[in-house]
Amino acid sequence: MQTSYLGPQIDDLEILSRLPANIARTFESQNGFISVEGGLHVRGACQNPMWHSIRTAWEGEFAISRLYPMVEKSDIPLAEDCFGNQYLLRKGKVIRLLGETGELDNLDTNWEEFIARFEAAPIDSFQLFHLARFREEGGELHPGFLLSVYPPFIAKECVGPSLRPIPALECRSYLADFARQIKNLNDGQRIKVKVAK
């Protein structure tokens, strides 16, 4: 898989010891990475940078389980895509957390199958055509950044949305807050999104 970022050396052996053995072994040769020019970010067993750290995503202020009530503390937050959707390992299977809504989607694959599916068809399987358009228009997505989408993907008006890079931890917090605000709305209900400048 072509990577645009390779994680630093492992310096969080305690978190590494809590990962399933097959996944921990892969981290010994490659401690996380970013591929498809930002399309998929697999986290690493490191303390820093925080946006790359499995520990940061698993525990503490930016823990996915703290931001989204449907996520269990035992779910392992291994990866995210460029839009802030999270890929978690639950009982050996990969589940996708949709960042905008907090909904969980069972992908019915193990970790190796998930990575193989991504390698085979990243644009189609993971809807990265928006990232491709962003790149074609001269946009750059640097490590540690995700794409903020306006209007949100869940909006009926979301056709050719505006995309801008924002820090990954900021994006994660924003999406979780957005999901909290819309969780009790009905399909088709109108929302007003205020854009911070």
Stretch 96-103: mean pLDDT: 95
Where residue 188 falls among pLDDT bands split at 50, 70, 90? low
Average model confidence (pLDDT) across the chain: 88
pLDDT over threshold 60, residue 192 = no
Domain membership of residue 81 (yes or no) is yes
pTM of the predicted model as reported, rounded to 2 decimal places: 0.90
Is the confidence at residue 17, as pLDDT, over 60?
A: yes
Domain assignment present for 196: no
Residue 42 exposed, middle or buried by CB count within 10 Å (0-12, 13-18, 19+): buried
Distance CA 31, CA 44 (A): 5
Does 91 map to a domain?
yes
Kindly tell me if the per-residue pLDDT of 142 is higher than 70: yes
Domain residues for 84? 3-182
The answer to whether 150 and 195 are in contact (CB under 8 A) is: yes
Count of structural domains within the chain: 1
* Cα-to-chain-centroid distance, residue 122: 14
pLDDT grade, residue 191 (50/70/90)?
A: low
Q: Is the residue at 153 inside a domain?
A: yes
pLDDT of amino acid 24: 93
pLDDT > 70 in the chain, percent: 87
Query: How far is C-alpha 102 from the chain's CA centre?
Result: 12
Question: Does residue 192 fall inside a structural domain?
Answer: no
* 171, part of any domain: yes
Angle at 130 between CA 129 and CA 132, to 5 degrees: 60
* 106-116: pLDDT as tens digits: 999 999 999 88
Domain membership of residue 187 (yes or no) is no
Supply the pLDDT for residue 146.
96
Domain for residue 77, yes or no?
A: yes
